[in-house]
Chain A
Amino acid sequence: MDILEFLSYGFIRRAMTAGSFIAVLCSVLGVLLVLRRLSLMGDGLAHVTFGSVALGLAMKVYPLYVSIPVVMISSVGILKMIERAGIYGDAAIGIVSSLGIAVGVVIASASGGLNVDILSYLFGNILSIGDAEVYISMFLAALVLLTIFFYFDEIFSMTFDEEFAKASGINVNRINLILAVLTSVTVVLTMRLVGIMLTSALLILPAVTAFQIGRGFKHTLFIAAASGVTSVITGIFVSFCLDLPAGASIVLINFALFFAAFSLRRFNVFHG
C-alpha cells in the first residue's frame, strides 16, 4: 500500500497530527516526571480519567469536558499531598489513582455496567480523534513548549534539586502548579490516542529511551520528543497495515526504541 493512499484517510491524518503533538507533550513532560520520581503520575491520572469518563457518559456530557477539570484537580491534589502532608509521591499517586477507579466502577455499574463506550476509552481508538482533539493538542503542545522555553532555567533547577531551586529564589510552588495542570490535560488527550491502560507508557518510555543516550538536559528532552513522535507515526502506520490496535502498536514501538537505545549504550560502554 502506498503512503499517499494511507494519508488520504482523514482519520489517519488527524490521528497522526494530533498524535505527534501529543507525543511531544508526553515526552517532554515525561522526562520531568520520571526525573522527579513521579513516573506513575500518568498512570494515576489516567485512572482518574476513567472515573471521570464514566461520570461524563452517565451524565451524557462529552467525557473530555468532565475529564479535564477533574484530572486537573486530582493532579493538584497529588502535589498538595506530597507537599503538605509529606506523603511519598508514589503513595499519593496510588491513593488518587485507586479513588479514580473506585468512583468509575461505582458510577459505571449504577448506570448500567461497563459498556462499549467505556471500553473504547480503556484501550483508545484513533477513529475517535476528531478535529477538537487535533486543535486542543496543537494548542497545548504550543503552550507546554512555550512554558518550558520561558521557565527553562527554573524547571531544570527544580527537576535537579527542588530545595536548591527554592534557595535560589525560584517560586517552586507556582511552577509545580503550572506543570501539574499541563500534565493533566496531556494525560486526558493521550487517553484518546492510546487508551487509559497505556497512557503512562507514552509518558515513561520516550523519557527512559532518551536517558540511555542523552548527553545533557536539553539534549535529553530533544531525544525524548523525537523518539515519542517516531513511535506514534510508525505505530499508527504499522497498526493500519497489519490491522492491529494503534495504541498497543505505539507502545510496542516505543519499547523497541528503548531497547535499541539501551543496546546502543551497552555497545558504547563495551567499545569505548
Chain B
Amino acid sequence: MQAVVSAQDFSCRHNSAEVLSDLSFEVGEGDYVALVGPNGSGKTTLIKAMLGLIKAAKGCIRVFGYHPDEQEEWSKIGYLPQKHLSFNQGFPSTVREIVGLGLPAKKTLSGRNREADIEAIDKALELTNISDISHKLIGDLSGGQQQRVFIARALVNEPKLLILDEPTTALDPETRENFFSLVNGLNKEKNVTVIFVTHDMGTIGKYASKLLYLDKRIIFYGSFDEFCRSDSMAHFFGESSQHIICHKHN
C-alpha cells in the first residue's frame, strides 16, 4: 500500500542554515502521528515542506505520492497552520466564510454545488461547536473561538490527511478534550491519517499511535510502545521525561 507521506533523504534550509537534515520516514494510511520536539526543531518547517510552502534543499517529500509542486490531491488534505493568529483582525469576513475557505476553490460557472458546500460548512461548524457564532465577524471572536474556526476550516472538506500545527494552544481544557476526541473519532472511524504537532507531552500518548521526535533530524520515529521500551530513548531523554510521555499511554 502506498504511504500517505513519504520522505527520502529530505533536507531543508532557511536562508543558508540547514534546518532539517536527511529525514527519511513514511506515514501510512490511518496513522496518528504526534510530531514533537523543542522550539526551533523544525516541526513547522517539515509541515510546510509537505504542503509545498518551503522547497526541499535535497531529497524529496511526497504526500499521496505527489511531489508538492505537482500535488493533485489538495482536497484530501486538511491543514491548520500554527500562526493563524497573525491575520488581520479587522478582516470583514464571517465565521461561515472563513470555514468555507477550506473547501476546494471552484470555478463559479462550472457547476458549483452550493447545496453541498452549505451542508459541509454546517457540519464542520457543528463538529467544532461554533454554529451559534457562524454569522459573527472573525475579528469579533476570542482567540480560542478563532482557533475553533480554523479547526473547522481544516475539517470542512472531510480530508483523508489532517495536518495540525499546535492545534490545542489557546483552547480551554474542555474544548481541548472535545477536539481530541473529535480527531480521534475521525482517525478510528474514517481512517483519517493525522499528523499533529504538540508540546503537550503528557497527553500525546493517550491518542497518538506513533511518535516522531524531531530535532533537526529524526531522533525517534516509531510506535509509542517502541518508544517507551527503548533504552536509548530513556538514555536520550532521561528516564523521567520518558516516563512523563509514556505513563498515560495504554
Contact = CB atoms under 8 A, between A and B. Distances in A.
B8 interface: no
A139 interface: no
A178 to B, nearest CB: 14
Given A160-B98, A168-B74, A216-B97, A211 B105 contact: no
Contact of A169 (B71, B84, B108): B71
Interface in A239-264: none
Interface size class of B (residues with CB under 8 A): 20 to 34
Nearest to A208: B90
Contacts of B224: none
Given A169-B104, A215-B137, A164 B92 contact: no
Nearest to A164: B81
A205 B106 CA distance: 31
Contact of A160 (B71, B77, B91): B91
Contacts of B84: 161
B232 interface: no
B81 A211 contact: no
Contacts of A152: 108
Interface in A25-64: 35, 37
A39 B95 CA distance: 25
Contacts of A160: 87, 91, 93, 98, 101
A35 B104 contact: no
B52 interface: yes
A26 B106 CA distance: 25
A36 to B, nearest CB: 9
B71 A156 contact: no
Interface in B75-102: 75, 77, 79, 81, 84, 87-88, 90-94, 96-98, 101-102
A174 to B, nearest CB: 13
Given A150-B109, A163-B53, A164-B81, A157 B101 contact: yes
Interface in A60-97: none
Given A35-B91, A169-B74, A217-B93, A164 B108 contact: no
Given A149-B108, A153-B106, A164 B101 contact: yes
Given A35-B88, A35-B91, A215-B94, A167 B53 contact: yes
A169 B90 CA distance: 26
Contacts of B91: 35, 160
A157 B106 CA distance: 12
A216 B105 contact: no
Interface in B86-135: 87-88, 90-94, 96-98, 101-109, 135
Nearest to A214: B92
Nearest to A221: B92
Contact of A216 (B71, B87, B93): B93
Contacts of B53: 163, 166-167
B51 interface: yes
B87 A161 contact: yes
B105 A153 contact: yes
A117 B108 CA distance: 45
Given A160-B87, A164-B81, A211-B90, A170 B105 contact: yes
Interface residues of A, number: 27
B106 A216 contact: no
Contacts of B74: 168-169
A229 interface: no
Contacts of A154: 105
Interface string A200-237: 00000000001100111101100000000000000000
A113 B206 CA distance: 77
A151 B105 CA distance: 8
Interface in A111-167: 149-154, 156-157, 160-161, 163-164, 166-167
A125 to B, nearest CB: 34
A166 B92 contact: no
Interface in B207-244: none
Given A161-B84, A166-B52, A210-B92, 15 more contacts: A35-B88, A37-B88, A153-B106, A156-B97, A157-B105, A160-B87, A164-B79, A164-B81, A167-B48, A167-B53, A168-B101, A168-B102, A169-B105, A170-B105, A219-B92
Interface of B: 48, 51-53, 71, 74-75, 77, 79, 81, 84, 87-88, 90-94, 96-98, 101-109, 135, 137
9 contacts: A150-B109, A153-B103, A156-B97, A156-B101, A164-B101, A170-B105, A210-B92, A215-B92, A215-B137
Interface of A: 35, 37, 149-154, 156-157, 160-161, 163-164, 166-170, 210-211, 214-217, 219-220
